[in-house]
Amino acid sequence: MNILVINGSPKANSDTMHLTNAFIKGMIEKEEHSVEKVNVIEKNIKPCVGCFGCWKIQNGKCLQNDDQNDILEKVIKADVIVWSFPLYCYGMPSHLKAVIDRLIPLSKMSMKEENGVVAHDTLFDLSSKHYVVISGCGFPNWDGNFDGLRLQCRNMFSNNLTMVCVPETPMLSEPTAQPLTKPLLEKFAKAGQEYIENLKLSEETIISLETPMLPNDVYIQIVNQNSQG
């Protein structure tokens, strides 16, 4: 299987990538799979200019000649695409959003309505692709923090989507938090094994991955103790 990991954190030491790396380790533990990682921040990817030139030419490429065309080729070849990124202002970081916007060369102008959802037809058969979204965030767990992102990803990736939204992820880069982060990393590795076997995760597994490492009040207290004011 071809696994493409698209890392949307701008940081060299990404909290979210700690989780994603554990998940990938689990995916390849029992069987060999090809894994390719793309660090979006290192790429030259301009925003979409909205010309719809790709819909006129229909060759799966963007008319802007930058690194996005390589990413489009990798997306076409991948069986599983793992999107790993931090939550920024209730959505995804802007450099990653540019990658998502510029997936439109893979679709066509024509539309269809299925089960109450309207979507564009695709230029290639993308129906067998599977998508995993792993997103970390700095707040403790609260209703609404990930709502906008969840809706956006559901609309973008339809039914083959597995989404894991994890609160309190700055702890992943904090050595003193290891007694709490190590068990979570182990759960992600196990989840990677479950995913590669079934190409989905059970609801129970997702809940366990999204369970906060610390109660909200304790987490907020620790953050505030360490903040500058």
Ligand X SMILES: Cc1cc2nc3c(=O)[nH]c(=O)nc-3n(C[C@H](O)[C@H](O)[C@H](O)COP(=O)(O)O)c2cc1C
Which spans of this chain sit near ligand X (rule: CB under 6 A)? 9, 11, 14-17, 86-90, 136-139, 145, 169-170
**Residue 11 or 182 having the CB closest to ligand X:** 11
C-beta of 145: minimal distance to ligand X in Å? Answer: 5
Structure tokens at 100: 């998502």
Burial degree of 202 (CB within 10 A; 0-12, 13-18, 19+)? exposed
**Residue 42 or 197 having the CB closest to ligand X:** 42
Q: What residue type is assigned to position 117 of the chain?
A: V
**Residue 1 or 177 having the CB closest to ligand X:** 177
C-beta of 201: minimal distance to ligand X in Å? Answer: 20
- 24-36 burial, b at 16+ Cβ within 10 Å, e below that, comes to bebbbeeeeeebe
Structure tokens at 26: 């689990």
**Residue 50 or 144 having the CB closest to ligand X:** 144
- 40-72 burial, b at 16+ Cβ within 10 Å, e below that, comes to bbeeebeebeeeeebeeeeebbbebeebbbebb
Beta strands 130-136 and 80-86: pairing type?
Answer: parallel
C-beta of 33: minimal distance to ligand X in Å? Answer: 23
C-beta of 88: minimal distance to ligand X in Å? Answer: 4
Please give the Cα distance from 176 to 196 (Å, whole number): 32
**Residue 55 or 90 having the CB closest to ligand X:** 90
**Residue 18 or 129 having the CB closest to ligand X:** 18
C-beta of 17: minimal distance to ligand X in Å? Answer: 6
For 34, phi then psi, to 5°, come to: -85, 130
- 158-187 burial, b at 16+ Cβ within 10 Å, e below that, comes to bebbbbbbbbbbbbbeeeebeeebeebbeb
What residues are paired with 130 via a beta bridge?
Answer: 80
C-beta of 229: minimal distance to ligand X in Å? Answer: 18
